[in-house]
Amino acid sequence: MLLQGSQAAYSGSSPAAHLAANPSQMLSLWRLATGNQLPPPPVPSLDFTQSRAVAFFWGQKPTGGYSLQYAGSQTVGNTLRVTLRLNSPPPGAILTQAITSPFVILEVPGHFIRVEFIDTNGRLLASASL
């Protein structure tokens, strides 16, 4: 895992997937996650001849209490399927009243050209292709 958190710069309301296969794509992906941090953390150096970076942005949430957990991945043909556990706050929980934007960025070995993020029930959350 390269980075995970609840305060991404991504401001969309819908889930989004991103796939980086070169330094330029990695910089764009990294800025979506860290663009609101001062100073932003340095972009990790990846060997793109061996791996890809993939990111899932859940979208803006109205309170704290939302998080993501990596639950596994598998490659099927040219597609990487990443399973995530989506955690929502329980009913009646005392929560921070702040907009959050949960995300996860992973480095995964391989040369796949598509990534699909699914939940633990197998429901497609978001996908991206090169």
* pTM assigned to the model: 0.95
73: domain range? 3-129
Number of domains into which the chain is organized = 1
- Could you read off the pLDDT tens digit of each residue along the chain, which spans 130 residues? 999 999 999 999 999 999 999 999 999 999 999 999 999 899 999 999 999 999 999 999 999 999 999 999 999 999 999 999 999 999 999 998 999 999 999 999 999 999 999 999 999 999 999 9
Q: How far apart are CA 93 and CA 87, in angstroms?
A: 13
How many helices and strands, by DSSP H and E, does the chain display?
Answer: 1, 8
- pLDDT of 80 reads 98
- pLDDT of 6 reads 95
- pLDDT of 25 reads 98
- pLDDT of 23 reads 98
Distances (CA, A) of 98 to 1, 40, 85, 94: 25, 21, 22, 12
Q: Are strands 79-87 and 114-119 parallel, antiparallel or unpaired?
A: parallel
Instruction: Give me the residue label for tokens 């663009």.
Output: 35
- pLDDT of 81 reads 98
Among 16, 115, 93, residue whose Cα is nearest residue 57: 16
